[in-house]
Structure 1
């Protein structure tokens, strides 16, 4: 008696649904709205404090790594093609090579990392707990946003690492407040929609 071996097939990848795409677009619009709210200039590098970071990390913590990344990438793409969605209503490719370029380039990565941490580290049991979501958001902000932001200012301004770090320091208190708001909102969203991160 002989048996015929069945070919091994890889599991089909789950594609983004219409709902996924709508969420990506909605969060890209939210980030744009956060960015155009009047920025507050701080420090000596000419980089404004805005609500951009709130929108970026909220996208990651709520949507997960893939959709969060895509939402931020869409936002950056809209700005790159000329829509005035960056701080001070800026647009085009200039901001991607300016003093705040490191922060802009960091945003998709930070959203992806925050989403990964909420989904896989906090997990189903703790994604509804504000403290754990806050830890995920602040980790992404410190490890990605501030690190690349400091590197960008060092390169653009041709200053020392110490000076670039000093220029970045005024943003820390604001980030703690913004990440606390991210945690409060994201935890409530996951309580209301426990399947939101499923499969993403």
Structure 2
């Protein structure tokens, strides 16, 4: 029988906490777009999980969230849940949540974050690269594969999300700046304290 150490208990609790943050962000009403992919606030949770938890725990928290959605919990914006949501045009974005949190966390862990200002700038860069470029690439792939859209059309439709997600990346950087200032020992990007 393995004993739960303080670090592993803390890790488990932060993973579960960020899965819950994603669920809370799902309470904000979605804005439906005609091509089947809604605008939601949950991509902010992806950025925060990666920046604040790091690649491994960020991925785990979003994987836990997606597992809860898959078993039917209505945690996505608009009260959606169940395995069927992974068959919709938005599936590339949903599956991308966990992967993007991992990428954001890996980037954040390699960027400078010694000062709150450096941490904020690093969070902005990591969120734009992982939460906009990478996540949108997976979303476009989902539109092409599931909605059978031509690549050019999927790319153009995806552009509707870019301004909002850039604003979320800025908001994530502000939150990271605040955390770095208030909790200077917080392991941003999963860096060892």
Please confirm whether the aligned pair reaches a TM-score higher than 0.5, indicating the same fold. Answer: yes
Q: 1:30 aligns with which of 21, 38, 42?
A: 21
> Once the two structures are superposed, what CA deviation does each residue of 1:107-147 show, in whole Å capped at 9, x if it has no partner?
11111111111111234357754222111111102332100
Structure 1: runs of 5+ lacking an equivalent:
1-13
Alpha-carbon distance in 1 for matches of 2:161, 2:8: 37
Alpha-carbon distance in 2 for matches of 1:58, 1:41: 23
> Once the two structures are superposed, what CA deviation does each residue of 1:166-195 show, in whole Å capped at 9, x if it has no partner?
211110010011111011001221232233
TM-score, normalising length from structure 1? 0.85
- Higher gyration radius (CA): 1
Alpha-carbon distance in 2 for matches of 1:64, 1:50: 23
1:161 shift after superposition? 0.6
Alpha-carbon distance in 1 for matches of 2:6, 2:140: 36
Poorly superposed stretches of 4+, deviation over 3 Å: 123-129
Residue 5 of structure 1 corresponds to none
1:16 shift after superposition? 5.1
Cα distance change of structure 1 residues 28 and 48 upon mapping to structure 2, 3 Å threshold: same
Residue 162 of structure 2 corresponds to 172
Alpha-carbon distance in 2 for matches of 1:127, 1:136: 14
| Equivalent runs, 1:1-200 vs 2, <5 Å | 17-42=8-33, 44-124=34-114, 128-197=118-187, 198-199=191-192
Q: Do the aligned residues in 1 keep the contact of 2:132 with 2:165 (CA within 8 Å)?
A: no
Q: Do the aligned residues in 2 keep the contact of 1:128 with 1:191 (CA within 8 Å)?
A: no
Alpha-carbon distance in 1 for matches of 2:7, 2:152: 43
TM-score, normalising length from structure 2? 0.88
Classify the secondary structure of the residue corresponding to 1:153.
helix
Question: How many positions carry a matched residue from both structures?
Answer: 186
Cα distance change of structure 1 residues 67 and 16 upon mapping to structure 2, 3 Å threshold: farther
Classify the secondary structure of the residue corresponding to 1:47.
coil
1:91 shift after superposition? 1.0
Cα distance change of structure 1 residues 154 and 189 upon mapping to structure 2, 3 Å threshold: same
